[in-house]
Amino acid sequence: MVRKMGVFAVLGYVLYGLFFYWYLFYFAEPKLPFEYQGTKADPATFLNGRELSLSEEYSKIKNLLFFLSTPFEWVLYFLILLFGFSRVFKRWAASSAKYKIVQTAIYLFWLSLFAFMATFPLNYISYSFSKTYHISTQSFPSWMKDELIDFWIHFGTWLIIVPVLYWLMKKSNKRWWLYGWLLSVPFTIFMMFVQPVLIDPLYNDFYPLKNKELEAKILTLAHKAQIPAEHVFEVNMAEKTNAMNAYVTGIGGNARIVLWDTTLNKLSDNQILFIMAHEICHYVEKHIYWGMGGYLLLSLLGLYLIYRIMNWAVDRWGKELKINDVGDIQSLPLFFMILSILLFTASPFTNLASRYQETRADRYAIEMTKNPNAAITSFQELTRSGLSQVNPPLLVKIFRYTHPPMLDRIAKLEEYEIQQRNKEQ
């Protein structure tokens, strides 16, 4: 039975992968709707033939790797349970330490290390393709350093969460999900607060914007929006990527508006001011807080579903999965597998909410700057630098896109430009 379940899991993953390969490379050939052809949203008007070809090739590969990577985790955790690796990790932990808390830490380390090594090839392939298509400029040692930072941050975070969660399972096998969620609220707020000052600097150097003339223009926009900002932060990303980005991060006194130096190097001041106005909208409309509130509500539902699904799975397949009790640390791979499935399932809804916020931010930015040409050309340059698809396939948009596709964003800006021109006539 165990072998059969393992074969079905691997076969299901292979069929899933073949479906998305067919969907991305053969079925979902992106064709620009007729009404957009020749407009400023048409990539043929701002990308040359080679750039068009490269963007399609690169996008297909990156999308395929995305759809392969997450379900790979599900299969991995399932096989870890099915073939007794979780039991082995627990045995190693028990033989290495006397105290329960230390055993849990050792178990979590072995599980995290096994998952890291198993997923490393897909991560490296993704990095390698980014280098091949000149998106990434990062050296392998630098990339490996970031991967190891990721590993230790995730390990450290789960080292706080897992012992508490499994202690709650022992104390209340029917309400642990609720108590766990209540404890997660202050923890989530704390992590959001320290992210800009403790975690982000582990990957890159952050400093106030060097171009003081540009900073003054940005702060003028911020003051118009009644934001008490003193600095705009710049981060050195040119040594890692050719792509561009800007974002808002953190909450309270640690909230920051951040610009990648690649954005500063490739865009004009007017284009950057539009990008900054977009980010200012996220701050003004408190999108970070709305996002955090939505995340906490989803996490409440998610923990409840994990509680129900774990109990059902252990009752039905506990023997095959080598799990005697949900509260046993051996069930942790099952917890991770269900969590990953739920996050993937929820992504169309969270992405939809994010795209709505990004649409509002675009509208706010153009109303504030009233420079549609700078806005349109900035989006065109963002598309070029990241080799992004202007009009992605439907499933890609649903599961991957936290921002509206550039086709929609540029088309709306062009409509605004036409409206403004008509008003002036």
SS3 of residue 319 by DSSP:
coil
Q: Are 389 and 59 in contact (CB under 8 A)?
A: yes
Catalytically annotated residue among 29, 279, 415, 417 = 279
- Phi-psi category of 226—alpha, beta or left, where left has phi over 0 and alpha has psi -120 to 50? left
- What DSSP designation does 25 have? I
From the DSSP assignment, how many helices (H) and strands (E) are in the chain? 14, 4
Instruction: Give all strands of the β-sheet with 233-235 in edge-to-edge order.
Output: 206-208, 233-235, 256-260, 246-249
Active site residue 367: no
CA neighbor of 392 nearest in space, from 384, 381, 403, 382: 403
Q: Are 350 and 301 in contact (CB under 8 A)?
A: no
Q: Are 245 and 381 in contact (CB under 8 A)?
A: no
CA angle 349–350–351, rounded 5-degree value: 90
CA angle 183–187–191, rounded 5-degree value: 170
Element (H, E) at 297: helix 287-317
CA neighbor of 395 nearest in space, from 129, 22, 8: 22
**236: which 2 tokens?**
């050195």
Q: Are 292 and 388 in contact (CB under 8 A)?
A: no
Q: Which amino acid is at 336?
A: F
For the chain, how far is it from start to end, CA to CA, in angstroms?
A: 76
410's CB contacts (< 8 A; 6+ apart) are 39, 40, 41, 376, 379, 380, 390
| Sign of the dihedral defined by the CA atoms of residues 75, 123, 234, 206, in that order | positive
- The catalytic residues are 279
